[in-house]
Structure 1
Amino acid sequence: MAPVDLSSRLLSELCGQISPELVPVVSAAAAILQDSTTPHVFLGGEQHLLDWPQLDGKVGTILTLLNDEEEAARLIAPLDEQNESILLGEDIEPQIPGLCIVSDRYLVGGGLWGSIALIGPTRMPFQKLMPLLHAFADQLGEGMSGKRKDTPQMAAPRRTVIYKEDLE
């Protein structure tokens, strides 16, 4: 069931049709389903932003943006349902010149998608990072959705760009 379809009335009707000892289980499942509609952002490695001189003096602003879950979810979610996105700091509010957010989507399961992002300076080595981000997103999605690459229900194959200079 989609979270938007789960009304209080429907939940009450469902709980009235099951045995009383199952009501807490159904209520907990409903709470988890409703919670899945709000963005959850998990940060890791943010201390590495301090290693980039291009971001000197901007790390506080970046962390403030990322600690607002709704704003962070908006920033890292690929635009227009694309699989990947590159967002420059000049394109966000407040502007943070020198910042770049590279993100990709992964299938969570049940028709839900998540986003994963690399955040750093605009001089990040994109040609090396994008294939790694795609591969990580694919593996994360397979793990989250319970699908393996060798099953017929797998998610659509991803495109990976390999640059000639990376092969040399």
Structure 2
Amino acid sequence: MISDRQLSILNAIVEDYVDLGQPIGSKTLIERHKLNVSPATIRNEMKHLEDLELIEKTHTSSGRSPSELGIRYYVNQLLQQTSHQQQTKIQRLRDLLVENHYDISTTLSAFANELSIASQYTTLVMRPNHKKDIINNIHLIRANAHLVIMVVVFTSGHVEHLHLATQVPLSNDKLTKISNFVTTKYNKWNNQQFESELNTFVKSELEKQFIKEMLHTIEIHFDNQSNGIFMGGKVKLIDALNESNVSSIQPILQYIESNKITQLLDDMSHSTINVKIGHEIESSLSDISIITSEYHIDDRLKGQIAVIGPTAMNYQNVIRLLNTIW
């Protein structure tokens, strides 16, 4: 445990280090925070924090910088405080959906860019899992002798256009009947009742195969899209790193662009704010932090947001921003 004064000093060191980008000395703390104690007292308290490995001394300055452990202590205090605060929720995502005619990809790309501008850091928005959405309607449109367009409409308003290459000679009337059947029976897909009803609906093996290919196409498409990530402000991550940790850029970008980030967001999936700092993310990463939260399209359909910045990031502003998003 640390005292209230030591906690105040730790918080001040973290926040000043974020603002100034350099180690913080006792003189800076006294001047910036109008502390009514002597420099010697501040130095003694800083020595205690250093012994606890919450702050550390660099070789190039007499000041102290927060360690990963110290930042974690600071962040835990912030999370505890904000968990008791009531925030006004902003449903900006719904407005973006309307503005972009319910095109999910365009909407989430715009959302990622807006969040990056608001937070001043790189942001990732993971595509929601549409398996949790409800298909409202499926339409089949013949484009030519070998191609059928499948239009999938969800209750959220989202629409997907999928292509089906087929040699089966199906009339427009037959395609309409198949559309209506699959729309009605879709949620029974992959059970015995569906097979029984399918056998009653069509006798032609070619038509049965066409319907099964439809369903597999939907399933594969959503499996492939479940890991879709939209990035905003990639350059902000590079800007946030300085000459002392510029070598971290490549492994950080490799991590973000790999499947590891998807797994991390899945592991951090929770309705509350989650924070991973430096080595908590991966042993090879020491210079970034990732703050995640959920966003909602409706009560069922939701995904993950991640804000990525240096370990010395403005946690207070980012946590406040994510707390306002529904």
Q: What band does the TM-score fall into relative to the shorter chain?
A: 0.5 to 0.7
**CA RMSD across the alignment:** 3.6
CA distance in 2, matches of 1:72, 1:113: 18
Partner of 1:61: 251
Which of 116-125 and 42-51 deviates more?
42-51
Residue type of the partner of 2:254?
Answer: T
Partner of 1:129: 318
Residue type of the partner of 1:44?
Answer: G
CA distance in 1, matches of 2:298, 2:192: 23
Whether contact under 8 Å (1:55, 1:121) holds in the other structure is no
Partner of 1:75: 264
Q: TM-score, normalised by structure 1?
A: 0.59
Q: Secondary structure at the match of 1:64?
A: helix
CA distance in 2, matches of 1:107, 1:116: 10
Q: Secondary structure at the match of 2:229?
A: coil
Question: CA offset at residue 119 of structure 1?
Answer: 0.3
Cα deviation code 1:98-126 (max 9, x no counterpart): 21101101235574531111101122111
Which blocks of at least 5 consecutive residues in structure 2 are unaligned?
1-130, 134-187
Whether contact under 8 Å (2:269, 2:293) holds in the other structure is no
CA distance in 1, matches of 2:214, 2:275: 41
Residue type of the partner of 2:233?
Answer: G
Q: Secondary structure at the match of 1:106?
A: strand
Q: TM-score, normalised by structure 2?
A: 0.34
Partner of 2:303: 114
Residues 123/26 of structure 1: CA separation in 2 closer, same or farther (3 Å cut):
same
CA distance in 2, matches of 1:26, 1:62: 38
Matched residue pairs, number?
133
Residue type of the partner of 2:261?
Answer: A
Point out which structure has higher relative CO (alpha carbons under 8 A, 6+ apart). Answer: 2
Whether contact under 8 Å (2:277, 2:311) holds in the other structure is yes
- 2:238 pairs with 32, 35, 50, which one? 50
CA distance in 1, matches of 2:223, 2:299: 14
Q: Secondary structure at the match of 1:87?
A: strand
Q: Percent same amino acid among aligned pairs?
A: 20
Bigger Rg, structure 1 or 2 = 2
Question: CA offset at residue 48 of structure 1?
Answer: 1.4
Residue type of the partner of 1:114?
Answer: G
